C-alpha cells in the first residue's frame, strides 16, 4: 500500500500551491477576460439596441414619406382633374363664343347681301324703266 499512500505534508503544500495558482490566475487572467467579455456583451447589446432604434426611426420616416407621397399624389390628381374640368369648360366657352361670332357675322353678311340685293334690284328697276322708256320713245319715233 505504499503506492497509494497519502503524504499529508506534500498534499497540503500542493493544495496551497494549487490555491495560490488559482487565485493568481483568477486575479490576472480570468477577471480581465471576464471583464472584456462583459464589456463586449454590453457593447453588442448597446449596438443592437441602437440598431433597433435606428430601424424604428427609419420605419417611421418611411411611413411619413409614404403618407406625404400619397397626399401629394392625391393633390396632384385633384389638381389635374380640376385643370381638365377648367379646360373643358373653357373649351366649351370658346367654341360657343366662336359659334356666336360666326352666327353674328353670318347675320351681318345676310344684312349686307340684302342691302346689296335691294340696291341692285332698285338699280335694275330704274334701268329697266329707262330702257322701257327709251324703247317706247324709239318705237313711237319710228
Report the chain's C-alpha Rg in angstroms. Answer: 59
Separation between Cα atoms, residue 80 and residue 74, nearest integer Å: 10
CA 110 to chain centre: 56
- Rounded Cα distance between 90 and 97, Å, is 10
Q: Is the pLDDT of residue 65 over 60?
A: yes
Assigned C-alpha cell, 111: 344684312
Average pLDDT over residues 104-133: 88
Share above pLDDT 90 across residues of the chain, in percent, rounded to a whole number: 63
pLDDT band per the 50, 70, 90 thresholds, residue 140? confident
Structure confidence at residue 2 as a pLDDT band (50, 70, 90): low
Cα distance between residue 105 and residue 112, in whole Å: 10
Residue with cell 430601424: 55
Q: In whole angstroms, give the CA distance from residue 77 to residue 81.
A: 6
Q: Is residue 1 predicted with pLDDT exceeding 50?
A: no
pTM of the model: 0.45
Contacts of 110 (CB under 8 A, 6+ apart): none
| Three-point CA angle 99, 101, 103, nearest 5° | 70
pLDDT tens for each residue of 25-55: 999 999 999 999 999 999 898 889 999 999 9
Asked if the model's pLDDT at residue 129 lies above 60, the reply is: yes
Does the CA dihedral 22-25-31-37 come out positive or negative? negative
Amino acid at each position: 500500500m505504499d503506492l497509494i499512500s497519502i503524504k499529508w505534508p506534500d498534499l497540503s503544500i500542493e493544495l496551497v500551491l494549487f490555491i495560490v495558482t488559482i487565485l493568481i490566475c483568477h486575479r490576472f487572467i480570468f477577471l480581465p477576460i471576464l471583464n472584456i467579455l462583459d464589456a463586449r456583451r454590453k457593447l453588442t447589446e448597446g449596438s443592437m439596441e441602437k440598431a433597433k432604434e435606428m430601424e424604428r426611426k427609419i420605419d417611421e420616416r418611411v411611413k411619413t414619406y409614404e403618407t406625404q407621397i400619397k397626399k401629394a399624389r392625391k393633390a396632384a390628381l385633384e389638381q389635374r382633374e380640376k385643370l381638365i374640368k377648367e379646360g373643358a369648360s373653357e373649351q366649351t366657352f370658346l367654341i360657343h363664343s366662336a359659334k356666336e361670332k360666326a352666327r353674328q357675322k353670318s347675320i351681318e353678311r345676310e344684312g349686307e347681301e340684302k342691302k346689296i340685293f335691294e340696291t341692285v334690284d332698285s338699280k335694275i328697276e330704274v334701268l329697266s324703266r329707262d330702257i322701257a322708256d327709251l324703247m317706247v320713245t324709239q318705237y313711237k319715233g319710228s
